[in-house]
């Protein structure tokens, strides 16, 4: 079974600065997807970024980028130029490509606070 670990329960960053959220995972599979989801106070789950394990290039979406280290099973999220609207809980998630189904395995999440 896959596991996803987010060991930092909380982080804080000053507005306009850069912050990195950590995530590690454990799997015996070679093909899979990794995701970061954001959950603001509204509780909506919003996709931030995704990474296909077969791609060596790290995914980027505007101010959000990942550092994907497949051998180390590490998938961190970097938020540049932090904004007040980035205040939220962030979840790292894993989805296997194997099997005849699809399901997300989530980490416990990290609460990010952006200070004005």
- Note whether 47 binds other proteins by CB under 8 A: yes
Half-sphere exposure of 35 (CA within 13 A, CB side): 16
- Note whether 56 binds other proteins by CB under 8 A: no
Two tokens at 34? Answer: 């990794």
Which of 28, 43, 56, 62 is the binder for other proteins (CB under 8 A)?
Answer: 43
Half-sphere exposure of 59 (CA within 13 A, CB side): 18
Which of 46, 69, 81, 115 is the binder for other proteins (CB under 8 A)?
Answer: 46
- The whole-angstrom separation of Cα 91 and Cα 99 is 23
Binding residues for other proteins, rule: CB under 8 A, are: 33, 35, 37, 42-47, 50, 52, 91, 95, 99-109
């Amino acid at each position: 079974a896959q596991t996803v670990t987010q060991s930092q329960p909380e982080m804080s960053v000053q507005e306009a600065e850069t912050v990195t959220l950590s995530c590690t995972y454990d799997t015996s599979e070679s093909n899979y997807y990794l995701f970061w989801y954001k959950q603001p106070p509204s509780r909506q789950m919003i996709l931030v970024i995704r990474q296909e394990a077969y791609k060596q290039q790290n995914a980027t979406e505007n101010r959000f980028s990942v550092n994907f280290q497949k051998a180390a099973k590490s998938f961190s999220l970097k938020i540049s130029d932090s904004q007040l609207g980035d205040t939220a809980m962030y979840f790292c998630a894993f989805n296997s490509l194997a099997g005849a189904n699809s399901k997300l395995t989530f980490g416990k999440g990290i609460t990010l606070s952006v200070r004005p």
